[in-house]
Amino acid sequence: MAKVVTFGEVMLRLSTPGYLRFAQARQFDATFGGGEANVAVSLANYGVDAHFVTRLPKNDIAQMCISELRGLGVDTSGIVYGGERIGIYYLETGAVARGSKVVYDRAHSAVSDIKPGMVDWKKVLDGADWFHWTGITPALSQGAADACLEAIKTANEMGVKVSCDLNYRKKLWQYGKTAAEVMPALVEGCDLILGNEEDAEKEFGIKPEGFDAEKTGGEIDQTRFESVCRQLMERFPRCKKVAITLRGSINANHNTWGGVLFDGKTLWQSRRYDITHIVDRVGGGDSFMGGLLYGLLTYGTDQEAIEFAAAASALKHTIIGDYNRVTTAEVEALMKGGGSGRVSR
């Protein structure tokens, strides 16, 4: 069984019921989520030995989070303890022309105060096949960025493959450094990079010519993104593969979705999904990453890997919460042309 270790922040997620606006809500639905934890849950669902590392306070809310992750099959033995609070994010789900909104309450969370040396990375990464992080983590604080770099360098030394989801979040870079200043040193240690057109542009100034995500109308020429992949691989020579998620936004409830995977020679393109009734798109990119890692670990071709990633994330759009609670069999059924929504008896 393959072992994958992910590192980042997991937060308490408080979402308004249904499509209520924040001003209308009198109660919130409570669960947990975060980019790297979401990837770990996906991998655990597929039978991978998935480990999630973070820093949490010792209180009942943090224990509730750990219990939920363990119940979903994620190994939490690498979590370190300290700090006073778990981060929170509030979610208002959009509809049609009204986009979703996220409000963060994560300042001074336990993981944002992490420092190098707090995690024994050699122990955590022992026997691992992959280490995964996202651009969210180094955006939290200098300490989090330094701890992430420490983990990447240790993985490189140990021969553990490293993957990164660039995940640019402009609201998070508040400690005096920009993504363009911090991210290159971390991405230099990556074997696989995932992103979208905004991530590559905001962090490295790389973008597809003549592309505007707001004007796609759901139609995206996937071949436009080969130049982005090539530029990323030229900028970061260690990188062996680049994946790009491609979302065509018709409205908040109706998107097209797919992705491409470039190996330096061939641009592998997934099937395009027309998702007409989105239930929850938060965690869509994480479900893609989890599916891609599983696909690369399991299948013999990059085409199968990118198809699994796209199908897995298409299914995630039908599930409430950050986590993609689907099985390998369900994803493979969609890959093979399923998706009618018929009752399984």
User: Spelled out in words, what is the top-level CATH class assigned to the domain 3-335?
Assistant: alpha beta
Collapse the DSSP code of 177 into the 3-class scheme (helix H, G, I; strand E, B; otherwise coil) and give the result.
coil
CA 128 to CA 49: how far, in whole Å? 9
pLDDT at residue 345 tops 50? no
CA 109 to CA 123: how far, in whole Å? 24
Q: What's the mean pLDDT in 230-246? A: 95
Between the CA of residue 158 and those of 28, 143, 325, what are the distances in Å? 44, 23, 32
pLDDT tens figures, 6-51:
999 999 999 999 999 999 999 999 999 999 999 999 999 999 999 9
- What the block records as the tokens of 178 is 């920009």
Exactly one of 165, 199, 286, 322 is catalytic; name it: 286
Between the CA of residue 23 and those of 17, 20, 62, 95, 280, what are the distances in Å? 12, 8, 27, 16, 20
List the chain domain ranges: 3-335
pLDDT tens figures, 82-131:
999 999 999 999 999 999 999 999 999 999 999 999 999 999 999 999 99
Give percent above pLDDT 70 in the chain.
94
- pTM reported for the whole predicted model: 0.93
286 is catalytic: yes
